Amino acid sequence: MCRLFAVSSDTPLSPMKALEALDTMREGHDGSGVGLFLRDLGGPLAAVKGSPILSGIFTEAGLKKLDALMMDIGFMTKYRMGIRLPATPPAGTPKRDIYLIRAYDYPSAWETLSETEKHRRLMETRLRLRKMGEAEGDMIVFSFWPDVVMIKEIGDPLTVGRYLDLDRHGLTARVILAQGRQNTNYAINLYACHPFFLEGYATMTNGENTAFIPVKEFLESRGFEGYMGFQSDSEVFVHILHYMERFLDLPLEAYKHIITPLPDAALTAHPNARLLRTLKQSCRKLIIDGPNCVIGSLPDGSVFMAQDSKKLRPGFVGGKPGIWGFSSEVCGLDTVIPDRDKTKDFQPMHLDMAVVGPDRKEVTVCRQTDRLSRQV
Amino acid sequence: MSANGQIIPSSLSISDLPWQIRWNQDKCTLCGSCTAVCPVNAIELGVFRKREITAGLGLAEKPASSQTIRYGIRQRTSPAYACVGCAMCSMVCPNDAILPERNDGGDKLRFHINQGGQPRSRGGRRNDPAGLLDQIKFIRISMLTDPALDAGRHTFELNTLLGRVLEPRDALKHQREHGWMPPVREIYPLVIGGMSFGALSPPMWEGLQMGVAYLNEELGMPVRMCTGEGGCPPRLLRSRFLKYVILQIASGYFGWDEIIHAIPEMKEDPCAIEIKYGQGAKPGDGGLLMWHKVNKLIAAIRGVPERVSLPSPPTHQTQYSIEESVAKMIQSMSMAWGFRVPVYPKISATSTTLAVLNNLTRNPYAAGLAIDGEDGGTGAAYNVSMNHMGHPIASSLRDAYLNLVKVGKQNEIPLFAGGGVGKNGNLAANAAALIMLGASGIQTGKYIMQAAAGCLGSEQDRCNICNIGLCPKGIASQDPRIFRRLDAEKVAERVVDLYLAFDMELRKILAPLGRSTSLPIGMSDALGINDFHAAERLGIRYVV
């Protein structure tokens, strides 16, 4: 089973903190892999906030291909975080040439473009690189986005973190999503490892989405090139989130209503029954199933946790103003935020979604039976 | 054969018939029940004369011959009176003295059943017991990564949608701008397929309606039933129960005068309107109600004279193109109810299904598509149509669904599949397989007749006389002497029984697959089949 830990903190934290939290949940995961998503970065990357950062794993040959392509498009390297590796990787972790974290200046030709167009092109470049790397396996690209870094690797999370010496480079972030297991439901592939990323949205999931195929087919047929990959059944959670905000222009509180709509009787009694029924019917193919605890992060810096319709996976939210943690198990919270008021810890149930906004002042709980905000 | 009988080409002996009557003289009480009940007069009173010779041992007594007479049952061998194997004789026999048995030797009747140049016509279904749906297995069993659910304890959302569902962006736009939203019904995925009032007897229809009403009002299961082409009783049209009914219009427009005139008096809108263009049992052929069944009541409901055969034309005669057939008719029917009722066509599965479907994707009023496969049943059709015409439902449905996936409209036009679902009794398994191949819902008729009313028909050519109004169970007859055998209340009870059992079996399939939040339409990764080519064709896993 996957174990998840996410933190949103006013003070940038080292990703090692999150990996330590994962380590306390070792009984619940097999230590077969690690995935990290970092947003709102501190340390040296704070100085390059608006610049897109490319995260991935490259061979020497892959790096040359990357440089050629980036040069061709007009990207100039602005900052590179050199990760020096010990000669031998830990047991179970493959030997890699380069773990790349590199910030670029936008091509001068892009200067006049709107933010939306720039973002579209960033995604397009990421997908192009991913495709180029698929033939030889020399480039694995996780994200290419401003103020976002992602790291994924096979092996025990804490050991991999120490191997990459994540603390040494001053890599810190205010929002961290960490997951402690290589996806094992399908083929072993780093693209199948949570968290998943698309145009500023990221999610990770503990569980298995049994409605994967119909959801995947629906997303693929939307005609949006970013809905691809699907190496994991959980990847669709980030796509659904993206589709909801970008295409349907709906706020986060609608997410639960799309992935796990209310049963018919409860829907009829809801103050927004008409809208929710429309949503349930038209987004029927986005209804997920099976046990799933989803933790995600939005471009505005919000972090949320939502459960499947039967609440078949554990999940805790707790903390204090300024720092909030989201964890599969309470011991994860204890590691990172030991001094919180534990009586206020919250476990989202089958109707709940817990959200910590970018201000990190409080946990807001959206219950599906509540009236929706005017925004919807 | 009598002493002065003549042998002609169509002279048959009992051993040439497909069903042979075994009669036990020792048990028979000569009550006459069997000959009275036989719907085709295949048996009659037989007077058997036997010569007995007595010869004494000595010379004093001369040998003598005498005649004895006994009474019993004689099976008739003329093609017109051949036994149909319904076994009503066994059912009424107080002593179990009589029984029809299938002739394993290959009958000769099939070569002579076209007397007078009339090809055989009959009711029933395709005489082929095999079926692909029964071969499909559910293989994606939830194990430790996603524990299986409990069919008895967990809640399951099994309802489906019937109606044009807008694409999410359009739906929200229409909602915000208070635009027209196509009507969508949330219904139970197992629909009682179109069997007309006329084809079915009054108690059968009444029983089905009562069962459906009970399921809706007492058990909260939104089950719907299609009328078939034959109109709808006037009281039902004006009752609140109309909302559980899908009204069917087909090429004969039978009963629609009554329906149109009742619109101003309707308390509720019907669930939907089904426009029948084709039927799986007899694709490319119209409906047929033989004159035997057109009595005063049926004639009144259908708006026709009594005792005339009612053939529907193969196509809707006023239309000549798919645009007219589908678009205009859908629009007209929608308009009749103020665009508040979903209107969808039903076609027989065919290699040209996609042409119809593609047309529907461009028609914003098309509320769905029902596809009826070759194993569908009928009240009356030519034997050749039933046995040899048509397309299997599985690949036709799968092609249609994948085509919708390709154009991104898989949620917008619900597909309803029918034709042979549950033909071997595996209703829930067959239905679930079709749902996972892409059907939003299932239509079934034969299974309902068998389970709810005890229809005797089978895929081995048993009974199959629905067309002549002599249905031995009173299901498909308009003769009060026959249909009084059927108790509407008991039919209703059986409808409820079979729906509850279906519901539990469906949950027993979905729970191990880890599905409960929505009906698993198109969940093809759950399916496997032990036939490589079928697996390839359907895009499911080949398992051995």
- Any CB–CB contact under 8 A between B155 and chain A? yes
Supply the pLDDT for residue B2: 74
Nearest CA in chain B to A210: B514
Nearest CA in chain A to B410: A218
- Any CB–CB contact under 8 A between A291 and chain B? yes
Token pair 């069944």 is found at B293
Residue A173 tokens, joined: 């972030």
The CA distance from A8 to A301, in Å, is: 8
Strand order, beta sheet including A98-105:
A76-80, A98-105, A52-58, A139-146
Residue B291: closest CA among B307, B313, B312:
B307
Facing residue for A210 by CB, picked from B146, B159, B521:
B146
The CA distance from B31 to A162, in Å, is: 96
Contact between B408 and B359 under an 8 Å Cβ cutoff? The reply is no
Q: Dihedrals φ, ψ of A207, to 5°?
A: 145, -160
The CA distance from A173 to A153, in Å, is: 19
Interface test with A, best of B178, B403, B411 (most A CBs within 10 A): B411
Strand B310-311 relative to strand B343-348, pairing: unpaired
The CA distance from A112 to A109, in Å, is: 7
Residue B287: closest CA among B368, B192, B195, B419:
B195
* B155 CA to centre of own chain: 31
Q: What DSSP designation does B513 have?
A: G
State the Cα torsion A346-A349-A352-A354 to the nearest 10°.
Answer: 30
Residue B395 Cα, gap to closest chain A Cα (Å)? 18
Residue B44 tokens, joined: 């009659």
Amino acid making up residue B297: L
Query: Average pLDDT in the A8-37 region?
Result: 91
Residue A109 tokens, joined: 């030709």
Contact between B342 and B163 under an 8 Å Cβ cutoff? The reply is yes
Supply the pLDDT for residue A186: 55
Gyration radius (Cα) of chain A, Å: 20
Facing residue for B169 by CB, picked from A247, A285, A310:
A247
Per residue in B419-441, pLDDT (tens digit) is 999 999 999 999 999 999 999 99
The CA distance from A179 to A236, in Å, is: 17
Residues 6+ positions from A253 with CB-CB distance below 8 Å: A353, A366, A372, A373, A375, A376
Residue B249: closest CA among B338, B163, B165, B318:
B318
The CA distance from B333 to A199, in Å, is: 46
Query: Average pLDDT in the B393-420 region?
Result: 97
Facing residue for B514 by CB, picked from A223, A263, A289:
A289
User: Does residue A181 register a pLDDT over 90?
Assistant: no
Contact between B494 and B211 under an 8 Å Cβ cutoff? The reply is yes
How many CB pairs below 8 A link A and B?
A: 111
Residue A79: closest CA among A110, A100, A109, A57:
A100
Are A282 and B172 an interchain contact pair (Cβ–Cβ within 8 Å)?
yes
Residue A46 Cα, gap to closest chain B Cα (Å)? 37
**Percent of all residues in chain A with a pLDDT value above 70, rounded to a whole number:** 97
Contact between B330 and B345 under an 8 Å Cβ cutoff? The reply is yes
Supply the pLDDT for residue A187: 58
Supply the pLDDT for residue B242: 98
Are B168 and A282 an interchain contact pair (Cβ–Cβ within 8 Å)?
yes
CA distances in angstroms from B117 to A356, B111, B112, B367, listed in the order given: 82, 12, 10, 43
The CA distance from B487 to B423, in Å, is: 24
Contact between B516 and B159 under an 8 Å Cβ cutoff? The reply is no
Contacts of B172 in chain A (CB under 8 A): 248-250, 278-279, 282
User: Does residue A102 register a pLDDT over 90?
Assistant: yes
Sign for the CA dihedral angle at B419, B425, B428, B429 comes to negative
**Chain B stretch 428-487, residues whose beta carbon is closer than 8 A to a beta carbon of chain A:** none
Supply the pLDDT for residue B326: 83
Strand A292-297 relative to strand A303-307, pairing: antiparallel
What is the separation, in whole angstroms, between the first and last Cα of chain A? 35
Token pair 């066994």 is found at B90
Nearest CA in chain B to A223: B408
* Band of pLDDT at residue A182, cut at 50, 70 and 90: low
- The beta strands (E) that lie in chain A are given as 4-13, 33-41, 52-58, 76-80, 98-105, 139-146, 148-154, 173-179, 196-198, 201-207, 292-297, 303-307, 316-320, 323-327, 352-356, 363-367
Q: Is A44 exposed, middle or buried (0-12, 13-18, 19+ CB in 10 A)?
A: middle
Query: Average pLDDT in the B473-497 region?
Result: 97
Number of CB atoms found within 10 A of residue A96's CB: 16
Are A211 and B520 an interchain contact pair (Cβ–Cβ within 8 Å)?
yes
- The beta strands (E) that lie in B103-219 are given as 121-124, 137-138, 160-163, 184-187, 190-192
What is the H or E stretch that residue B399 is in? Answer: helix B393-407
Q: Which domains does chain A have, with CATH numbers?
A: 3-49+147-367 (3.60.20.10)
Residue B216 Cα, gap to closest chain A Cα (Å)? 14
Token pair 């000569």 is found at B30
Q: What is the pTM of this model?
A: 0.96
**Percent of all residues in chain B with a pLDDT value above 90, rounded to a whole number:** 87
User: Does residue A204 register a pLDDT over 60?
Assistant: yes
Per residue in B101-151, pLDDT (tens digit) is 999 888 999 999 999 999 999 999 999 999 999 999 999 998 877 778 999
Facing residue for A281 by CB, picked from B155, B165, B525:
B165
* A189 CA to centre of own chain: 17
Contact between B420 and B376 under an 8 Å Cβ cutoff? The reply is yes
The CA distance from B365 to B76, in Å, is: 56
Supply the pLDDT for residue B286: 84
Supply the pLDDT for residue A184: 58
Per residue in B516-535, pLDDT (tens digit) is 999 999 999 999 999 999 99
- Any CB–CB contact under 8 A between A225 and chain B? no
Are B405 and A221 an interchain contact pair (Cβ–Cβ within 8 Å)?
yes
Residue A168: closest CA among A350, A352, A16, A342:
A16
Supply the pLDDT for residue B13: 94
- Any CB–CB contact under 8 A between B361 and chain A? no
Contact between A180 and A2 under an 8 Å Cβ cutoff? The reply is yes
How many CA atoms within 13 Å lie on the side-chain side of B46? Answer: 18
Contacts of B171 in chain A (CB under 8 A): 278-279, 281-282
Number of CB atoms found within 10 A of residue B305's CB: 9
- Any CB–CB contact under 8 A between B167 and chain A? yes
* Band of pLDDT at residue B315, cut at 50, 70 and 90: confident
Contact between B397 and B419 under an 8 Å Cβ cutoff? The reply is no
Residue B461: closest CA among B127, B220, B76:
B127
Query: Average pLDDT in the A173-188 region?
Result: 79
DSSP line for A243-289: IIIIIS---GGGHHHHHSPPPHHHHHHSTTHHHHHHHHHHTGGG---
Token pair 């059907």 is found at B439
Specify the 3-state DSSP secondary structure of B443.
strand
ipTM: 0.94
User: Does residue A28 register a pLDDT over 80?
Assistant: no
- Any CB–CB contact under 8 A between B321 and chain A? no
Are B517 and A185 an interchain contact pair (Cβ–Cβ within 8 Å)?
no
Q: Is A264 exposed, middle or buried (0-12, 13-18, 19+ CB in 10 A)?
A: middle
How many CA atoms within 13 Å lie on the side-chain side of A250? Answer: 26
The CA distance from B256 to B277, in Å, is: 16
Gyration radius (Cα) of chain B, Å: 27
Per residue in A273-292, pLDDT (tens digit) is 999 999 999 999 999 999 99
Contacts of A213 in chain B (CB under 8 A): 522-525
- Any CB–CB contact under 8 A between B521 and chain A? yes
Per residue in A220-276, pLDDT (tens digit) is 999 999 999 999 999 999 999 999 999 999 999 999 999 999 999 899 999 999 999
Residue B427: closest CA among B438, B418, B439, B415:
B418
Query: Average pLDDT in the A32-51 region?
Result: 94
Specify the 3-state DSSP secondary structure of B133.
helix
Per residue in B73-95, pLDDT (tens digit) is 999 999 999 999 999 999 999 99
Query: Average pLDDT in the B214-232 region?
Result: 96
Report the b/e string of B137-172 with b at 16+ CB within 10 A.
ebebebeebbebbebeeeebbbbbbbbbbbbbeebb
CA distances in angstroms from B465 to B84, B375, B469, B524, listed in the order given: 8, 17, 7, 39
User: Does residue A1 register a pLDDT over 70?
Assistant: no
How many CA atoms within 13 Å lie on the side-chain side of B428? Answer: 15
Contacts of A278 in chain B (CB under 8 A): 166, 171-172, 175, 181
DSSP line for A22-42: HHHTGGGS---EEEEEEEEE-
Helices in B70-196 by DSSP H: which ranges?
88-92, 168-176
For residues B249 and B314, which has the higher predicted lDDT (pLDDT)? B249
Contact between A148 and A39 under an 8 Å Cβ cutoff? The reply is yes
Mean pLDDT of chain B: 94
- Any CB–CB contact under 8 A between A206 and chain B? no
- Any CB–CB contact under 8 A between A309 and chain B? yes
Query: Average pLDDT in the B378-407 region?
Result: 96
- Any CB–CB contact under 8 A between B406 and chain A? yes
